[in-house]
Amino acid sequence: MLDFKFIREHPDVVRKAIKNKNEKADLDKLLDLDVQRRRLISEVENARAEQNKVTQKIAEMKKAKQDASQVIAEMRELSENIKTSSEQLRQIEEAIHEIHIRIPNIPHDSVPIGDETHNKEIKTWGTLPEMDFKPLPHYDLAEKLNIIDFSRGANLAGSNFIAYRGAGARLERALINFMIDMHVQKHGYTEVLTPFLARRDVMFGTGQLPKLEEDMYHIPNEDLFLIPTAEVTVTNLHREEILMGDDLPVKYTAFSPCFRREAGAYGKETRGLMRVHQFNKVEMVKFVKPEDSWDELESLLQNAEDVLQALDLPYRVLTLASGDLSFAAAKCYDIEVYAAGLDRWLEVSSCSNFVDFQARRANIRFRRQKGEKPEFVHTLNGSGLALPRTVIAILENYQTDEGTVQIPAVLRDYMGMDMIKSST
């Protein structure tokens, strides 16, 4: 969340951010409540100071065997006033909190203003595949090869759940292992494996709650959520902690299944692997010093690009416009891979800098030197990569006119094969 002092001193900047991100937060009401809060705090503090004086006076009068009944009556009235004012203050602070947590992060100055049509393409890599036959979309190809069972997946858990089999399951596992190995061995991340469930305060820490609660799978009896991304649990690994500056940057990579209800997404393209409720993803998370975070965003982006380059999949990089930016992000790059069968660009990674927004929500700080005042770290994360659309691109771009699929060279040792012919 934003520093309240910053909100108070720069209301126009915050108001602009709310507008440009298409969020709903009543800033004027927040500022009015803040004035009331500060007035009540002053009143309560003054009243308690007076209460202490009166308490001392009563003690002195009793010691002197004087009649203190009138002063005691005044004390009771003062105590009741403090109780009333304190309850008003509690209600105002609750109201302030409810608005404060809905104020989005402020977009970086380099972020284009506007909706998704204002996203800016900044880079392309690779050559689009040229085929002398009409390429099949992945869902037809996968069914012919018997490597993804869409109907049985739906029978198990409902629509938009899938079941991999044979070489399809092996391809998922190979991609996960390949990506984790690259991020650990080449990029210097530490591998972690965190819970696939998270508490409400953990989901709040990374900004999924309260805004996105309807998109989450929730277990009411224990108030736990199935994670929508490993970002949630990996970022919160250091919640309520103070890191040492010499240890930064701290870099983690993790595999997890991701669970998303996609509430309100119906009517969009959902066939095949395009939009599923459970999918696998490899995540990268960084904790860095504030002065390093923008350089670290560029290196994070390159880490994700390295995966696609190794797989020899053509892609493009977009800087997201303010209206397409997530609630918590200050800046985000999307990487979109090209898929020949669908003839579309498909998002496979988002690389974001949250500056100190998540760190304030999760209270993650660092000390530059022992004994110095703690500061909030900056957090970043990026998909490295999300698997469903990576699989789409591999199947569609590497298919042959015989209906088989070549395995990208870097995956062949992981797969133990160089061609997907069929799974039985």
Which are the catalytic amino acids? 260, 275, 347, 350, 389
Q: Which of 78, 86, 83 is nearest to 37 (CA)?
A: 86
Strand-strand pairing, 148-149 and 163-164? antiparallel
Give the Cα separation of 13 and 290 in Å (integer): 20
Checking 335-338 for CB contacts under 8 A at 24+ apart, the result is 335/301, 335/304, 335/305, 335/308, 335/385, 337/308, 337/313, 337/389, 337/390, 337/393, 338/126, 338/128, 338/129, 338/313, 338/314, 338/393, 338/397
The DSSP secondary-structure symbol of 139 reads H
Give the Cα separation of 355 and 377 in Å (integer): 8
C-alpha radius of gyration, the chain, whole number: 27
Q: Which of 250, 249, 248, 242 is nearest to 367 (CA)?
A: 242
Give the Cα separation of 384 and 379 in Å (integer): 16
Give the Cα separation of 25 and 103 in Å (integer): 6
The DSSP secondary-structure symbol of 189 reads P
Sign of the dihedral through C-alpha 248, 361, 1, 317 = positive
Question: Do residues 80 and 51 touch, judged by C-beta distance below 8 A?
Answer: no
Angle between helices 69-100 and 27-63 (to 10 degrees): 160
Give the Cα separation of 353 and 372 in Å (integer): 25
Question: Do residues 341 and 137 touch, judged by C-beta distance below 8 A?
Answer: yes
Give the Cα separation of 180 and 176 in Å (integer): 6
